[in-house]
A = this chain, B = another copy of it.
């Protein structure tokens, strides 16, 4: 897959899977909504400041993001490893806020329980059907 095809595929996904490493060294996985903002291979997600994963990434920034789709005949999986920063500044919170979010954050866009995860890719790997390869991220 070319880097362009990979970026297109990622934009078509409605769900992403985030990986973290817990305090005992076990990998953890969680499904989240698609990134609110995509800047090359940097992704911004909204989440709860009080969540278990936020505390894990504050301790250990190592992370991965996985995008996949499975049809009857074709399977695509894209894995990016990198780091996650937990952002709480109002500017980025305003930027990725969407109207329906007040269902999850009663205090609205300034709710202290609303924060932003910024994932920066270091390395990429793709799988398509029985083929696979690595790709560069910048």
Which A residues form the contact surface with B (CB < 8 A)? 15, 17, 19-22, 24-31, 60, 62-64, 66, 68, 70, 75, 77, 79, 81-82, 104, 127, 130
Contact = CB atoms under 8 A, between A and B. Distances in A.
A19 B15 contact: no
Contacts of A66: 17, 29-31
A22 B77 contact: no
B25 A64 contact: no
State the copy count for this chain: 2
Contacts of A104: 130
A64 B26 contact: yes
A27 B70 contact: no
A71 to B, nearest CB: 12
Contacts of A62: 24-27
